[in-house]
């Protein structure tokens, strides 16, 4: 066994280990425009990192439109282009020895969604909102590199098959309008369901509106997984910072 292979074999188990919940940052920027009293369009971009904020995780570019059916009820649809930094993957033989190693790589996904949102305000300060969202994500096939440990050679034509997924996202949110203040705190919980619960996200944050056009937001998110959601994710704490311009 040459020195390079021995070193690789020593490092691969370390790369595969996990050390509990991860931490990352989330940054987003967007713009929103009302078209009359019922229509609203929105576009935005988002950047996430992982591995205790040391590794770039994902870019996202999105566009959405919504229509107000009646007071307190609206329907929406949208599309997102996702560019993911897929984590490396190690496979093993039945005896525990390393079979193949696939390094991390960047790949695209396409995401479509339709949602229905209902909201009620029992008084001037409190608002409760329930959103049900159907989400479809398609990952095209991708040719990547993979190292064959048995034959000590690179397989440069390894193809990761295309994959599609449907999921139902249910989010319950509450907001509070502080009297004589431009700050508005909020909290929500969102469940991801694909025949079984895959993960739940919890948010708590605050937004600040300046001159009715500039909206700044800061939030904390905790994500708990109940299974493999095939989304390059794990249990994770995140701090989110955002800005939106309203036309």
**pTM confidence score:** 0.86
The mean pLDDT value for 82-108 works out to 92
Instruction: Decide if pLDDT at 9 tops 90.
Output: no
Whether residue 237 contacts residue 221, with contact meaning beta carbons closer than 8 Å, is answered with: yes
- Residue 52 tokens read as 């205790």
Q: Are 132 and 160 in contact (CB under 8 A)?
A: no
How high is the pLDDT of residue 141? Answer: 95
**For the chain, what percent of residues have pLDDT higher than 70?**
90
Residues 6+ apart with CB under 8 A from 201: 189, 190, 192, 221, 222, 223, 224
Rounded distance between C-alpha atoms, residue 46 and residue 190, angstroms: 19
pLDDT digits (tens, 9 = 90+) for 208-228: 999 999 999 999 999 999 876
**Maximum CA extent, the chain:** 73
Can you list the domains of the chain with their CATH numbers? 3-246 (2.40.160.40)
């Amino acid at each position: 066994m040459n020195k390079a292979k021995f070193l690789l074999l020593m490092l691969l188990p370390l790369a595969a280990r996990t050390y509990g919940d991860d931490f990352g940052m989330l940054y987003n920027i967007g713009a929103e425009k009302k078209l009359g009293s019922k229509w609203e369009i929105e576009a935005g971009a988002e950047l996430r990192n992982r591995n205790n904020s040391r590794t770039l995780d994902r870019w996202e570019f999105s566009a959405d439109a919504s229509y107000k059916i009646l007071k307190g009820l609206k329907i929406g649809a949208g599309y997102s282009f996702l560019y993911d930094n897929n984590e490396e993957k190690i496979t093993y033989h039945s005896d525990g020895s390393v079979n193949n190693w696939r390094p991390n790589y960047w790949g695209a996904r396409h995401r479509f969604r339709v949602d229905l949102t209902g909201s009620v305000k029992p008084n001037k300060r409190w608002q409760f909102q329930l959103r049900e969202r159907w989400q479809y994500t398609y990952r095209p096939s991708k040719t990547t590199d993979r190292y064959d440990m048995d034959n000590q050679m690179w397989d440069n034509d390894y193809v990761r098959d295309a994959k599609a997924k449907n999921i139902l996202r249910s989010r319950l949110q509450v907001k509070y309008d502080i009297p004589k203040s431009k700050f508005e705190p909020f909290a929500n919980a969102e469940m991801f369901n694909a025949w079984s619960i895959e993960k739940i996200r919890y948010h708590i944050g605050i937004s600040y509106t300046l001159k009715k056009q500039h909206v700044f937001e800061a939030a904390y998110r905790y994500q708990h997984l109940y299974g493999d959601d095939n989304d390059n994710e794990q249990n994770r704490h995140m701090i989110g910072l955002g800005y939106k311009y309203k036309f």
